[in-house]
Structures are given as C-alpha cells and as structure tokens.
Amino acid sequence: MPRLLRMPGISADAEEVVFLEWCSTVGSTVAAGAAIATVETEKANVDIEAEEEAVLWRTLIEPGDAVAVGAPIAVLAGVGEDVSDEGGVLVALGLATTSAAAVEHHIADHDNVEEGDATAEPTATPTP
C-alpha cells in the first residue's frame, strides 16, 4: 500500500519550512538515502532523504509553499507496486473522501433514473 511522506522535523525550533523543489520527478524511483526534496529553514536549505527505496507516486505541495512539520507532502509507492486504483489509494490515505470509481458508479446510477421516477415526495421539516 502506498504511504504518505510527511514533512520531517528539520530543526528543534522550526514548526514550518518553505518547500523549494522536488529532487525527483513523479514516477521515478528514489533510492534509500537519496534526496527527494529540498526545503528552506531559517538557517539553511536542507534535503529531505528517502528512508527506503520507493517510487514518488504523487506530490502534494508545490515550490514556494509554507509547510508545517508533520504535514503530508507526497505519496510514495513501493517499487513495482500496483497503484492503478488511484481513487482507492487516495481514499485509503485520507486524501480524498470518495474514490473515482464510486463517483462514476453514483453518476451512472443517477443517469439511469428517469425524470419523475422518484418514489417519495420531499417533506417540510417543522420549525420549532
């Protein structure tokens, strides 16, 4: 299952950093220990390193964004991992509330209901 990459704590007193750049492109494999991104703190520019070999599947922030420590910044997948159910992955990680497949299914169901097919009339809610 893909996992979230969160902004690590860079220094003891920094609660937020400025995101500078991605060192890898979406879809590329990042080796363990390799720089995946660069951020700016009050004192220096710092590389964020991959903890393990992974594929940068989706980026969640852009250069120039102020990012809080602990905030999700990217989605990493295992090398060779099947991530074809994009909507399901995003829902599982809490980045979306409904998968694309569920939305398409709902739209298809709605399109199959003919006008005037409703079985219940709306009722007014009494005001206290």
SS3 string, the chain, reads CCEEEECCCCCCCCCEEEEEEECCCCCCEECCCCEEEEEECCCCEEEEECCCCEEEEEECCCCCCEEECCCEEEEEECCCCCCCCHHHHHHHCCCCCCCHHHHHHHHHHHHCCCCCCCCCCCCCCCCC
pLDDT (0 to 100) of residue 78: 94
- How far apart, in whole angstroms, are the C-alpha atoms of residue 100 and residue 80? 22
Predicted TM-score (pTM) of the model is: 0.72
CATH architecture of the domain formed by 3-80: Beta Barrel (2.40)
Q: What percent of the chain has pLDDT over 70?
A: 76
- How far apart, in whole angstroms, are the C-alpha atoms of residue 111 and residue 9? 49
pLDDT (0 to 100) of residue 99: 53
In the chain, where does the domain assigned CATH 2.40.50.100 lie?
Answer: 3-80
Spans in the chain with pLDDT lower than 50: 105-106, 110, 113-123
pLDDT (0 to 100) of residue 119: 41
